[in-house]
Amino acid sequence: MDDKVKHWLVAYVQSNREKRIFERLTTLGIESFLPLQEEIHQWGDRCKKVQRVIIPMCIFVHVTYPERLQVLQLPSVNRFMVLRGESTPATIPESQMERFKFMLDYSEEAIEMCNEHLQPGEKIRVIKGPLTGLEGELVTIGGKSKIAVRINVLGTALVEVPAGFVERVA
């Protein structure tokens, strides 16, 4: 295994420790990504903006083989995601991570994760709005058009998009 090649892996962490581990990884200089989405919560007479973790108990890390061991030594990090029947951590392709991060950064709509098997949709590209340039699949769920970005081993990230904002990709 090449010690200098970085791969995107999914680290499982203890519940409600995601933000703390993310900060610790950043302090250590280890590239990581914690998918967060801002939401407004209301309790009786007050409203507050909160950062919701989109995939609970998971942090994405972009690491070399030696850095992998460093991540596992952190308290609250349990293990890396491994596919059934395999012994090495499952890797997520760079292109899928880039599309997922782009979707999170620019979407004005709430992003939802779906880990059920979705039928493949038509290949499309967003041509209008804040997600312009994002490529994915157009799927219809509950009568609503959504753009789907598949992430190996984790499922599919979905966000609502008006049908007029997309074009078919050949």
Q: Which two tokens stand for residue 151?
A: 């992430």
| Rounded Cα gap, residues 36 and 111, in angstroms | 10
* DSSP conformational letter for 163: G
Q: What is the mean pLDDT of each run of 10 residues along the chain (170 residues)?
A: 84 95 95 90 83 92 94 94 89 93 90 85 92 92 88 88 87
**Closest alpha carbon to 37 in 95, 96, 113, 91:** 113
> pTM of the predicted model, to two decimals?
0.85
Amino acid making up residue 14: Q
Q: What are phi and psi of 96, to 5 degrees?
A: -70, -40
pLDDT of residue 84: 84
CA 67 vs. chain centroid, Å, equals 21
Do residues 74 and 67 lie in contact, with contact meaning Cβ atoms separated by under 8 Å? no
